[in-house]
Structures are given as C-alpha cells and as structure tokens.
C-alpha cells in the first residue's frame, strides 16, 4: 500500500447527496463502505467533515448572526455530521472514535494528540469534529493541522469533481485537468483548492494533497493502492 496513515477530508455538502439540505443516508452509507474497505487493509484512517449541509459559519453574517457565534454553530454542524458518519461506520463493524475540538463530553472525547495517534495505531477510525474549536478557522484548516499533528502521509480531499482544473469544470467545457501540480504552481495560477491557511500549512510541512472524486466507487481504495486518481499537489 502506498499510504499507511491518511487524513480524509469530506465536505458537508457532499453528504446531502441529491438533497438541498441535511444528510442523505444513501450517500453516507456509500462513503462508510469505502472507508471500511480501506480500514480492512490495515490503513490508519482519520476523517474531517465540513458542516455546510447544515450551517456555514462564514455566511452567518449575511443572516444577521455574529461571525464568531456563527462559526461555533458551524462547528456544532460538523459534530452532527461526524456523529452520523460514526454511526454508519459502526454499523459496518468499524471501531471508531470521535474527537472534538471543544468539550462535549457526552458524545465526544476531547482532542488529545497522543490519544488520537494511539487510536489510529489500534486500527480505529478517528473522526475529528468541531473543527479546531476556535472561530475563523475552516474545516480545511482543521484537516491540514490535524494531518500534520497525527503525522499522516497525505491529505485526501474528497470532492464531487475528479481533480484540480485550470477553471471550474462545472461551468467551462474547456477546463483542463492537472494530474500533478506543485504547491508553487497553485500559488502562481491562483487555483482555489483550499483556503490559504490550510494550503500553506500543507506546503510548509511537505504534506501532499490529493483532490479526487469521492462519489466514484472504488476511487479511495485505488489511491491507497497507488493508482493515479485525481490531482496530486506536492
């Protein structure tokens, strides 16, 4: 296997499936099956999920909600998604742990780096909820920082497109896909892959990223086996 310990970043919007809001149980079931398949190979899996299917903190000010308050609401949305994924994974027989960026003792363990690594070593799927526990940080930043802290080999950013393009492939038929691209080239071309804080964390810590289509069955396990799927940023 090419990677031993990964951090999988999923967007909250991806959990909606064909809905306009909330969680699509069929989509969650598919994702859980994909994750279980790689766990069965002995891969150590950590996961960060966004909360955009429920609430996006960054958009809260448009609704009259204070930005800091909105960000905490967004963090709670990620906990809801994380609990849902945890439940589906455990139905498939996965041993899991949900670790939170702030204390919610009834449903999550607090994030402690050594504990998180120990869980991974025991082949438990570790889900990081509630972001970093601080406002103004996105779940992309959470994914990058947690991946660095747990010494993951790579960040796998599961999206609905099959990689990074020079323009939006959903809007432009002439968009060209990159199979590989350096961090510096991403800066030069001003490509929008993650927010700048998250992206810079990966660059400065030599942590590669693969952007891929999570909705295509088998993609996740193919990446683990070393197949060139999506776009590698190095």
Residues, the chain, total?
A: 234
Which structural domain range is residue 67 located in?
Answer: 5-233
Tokens (6 digits) for 175: 């968009």
217 burial via Cβ count (<10 Å: 0-12, 13-18, 19+)? exposed
Q: Pairing between strand 44-49 and 96-100?
A: unpaired
Beta bridge partners of 8: 47, 156
pLDDT tens digits along 128-140: 999 999 999 999 9
Model-level pTM?
Answer: 0.96
Lay out the sheet containing 125-129: strands in order across.
109-110, 96-100, 125-129, 44-49, 5-10, 154-159, 209-213, 231-233, 180-181
DSSP assignment of 5-34: EEEEEE-TGGGGTTSSSS--HHHHHHHHHH
Confidence check: pLDDT of 63 > 90: no
User: Do 49 and 28 form a contact (C-beta atoms < 8 A)?
Assistant: no
**What is the number of structural domains in the chain?**
1
Q: Over range 58-63, report the average pLDDT.
A: 79
CATH number, position 118: 3.40.1160.10
Distance from the Cα of residue 28 to its chain's centroid: 14
pLDDT tens digits along 100-126: 999 999 999 999 999 999 999 999 999
Q: What is the pLDDT of residue 60?
A: 78
Confidence check: pLDDT of 61 > 80: no
User: Do 220 and 214 form a contact (C-beta atoms < 8 A)?
Assistant: yes
Tokens (6 digits) for 23: 């969680």
pLDDT tens digits along 73-108: 999 999 999 999 999 999 999 999 999 999 999 999
Lowest-pLDDT range of 25-29, 60-64, 100-104, 183-187:
60-64
Q: Which long-range contacts (CB under 8 A, 24 or more apart) does 54-60 make?
A: 54/12, 54/21, 54/22, 54/80, 54/81, 57/135, 58/138
């Amino acid at each position: 296997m090419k990677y031993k310990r990964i951090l999988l970043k999923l967007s909250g919007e991806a959990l909606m499936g064909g809905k306009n809001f909330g969680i699509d149980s069929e989509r969650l079931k598919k994702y859980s099956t994909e994750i279980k398949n790689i766990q069965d190979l002995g891969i150590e899996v950590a996961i960060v999920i966004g909360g955009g299917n429920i609430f996006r903190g960054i958009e809260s000010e448009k609704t009259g909600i204070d930005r800091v308050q909105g960000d905490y609401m967004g963090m709670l949305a990620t906990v809801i998604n994380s609990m849902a994924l945890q439940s589906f994974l455990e139905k498939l027989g996965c041993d899991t742990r949900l670790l939170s960026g702030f204390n919610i003792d009834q449903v999550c363990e607090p994030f402690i780096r050594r504990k998180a690594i120990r869980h991974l070593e025991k082949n438990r799927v570790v889900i990081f909820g509630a972001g970093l526990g601080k406002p103004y940080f996105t779940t992309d930043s959470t994914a990058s920082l947690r991946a660095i802290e747990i010494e993951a080999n790579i960040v796998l950013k599961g999206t609905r497109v099959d990689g990074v393009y020079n323009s939006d492939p959903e809007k432009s038929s002439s968009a060209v896909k990159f199979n590989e691209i350096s961090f510096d080239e991403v800066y030069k071309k001003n490509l929008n892959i993650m927010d700048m804080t998250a992206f810079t964390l990966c660059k400065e810590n030599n942590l590669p990223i693969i952007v891929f289509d999570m909705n295509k069955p088998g993609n996740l396990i193919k990446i683990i086996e070393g197949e060139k799927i999506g776009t590698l940023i190095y």
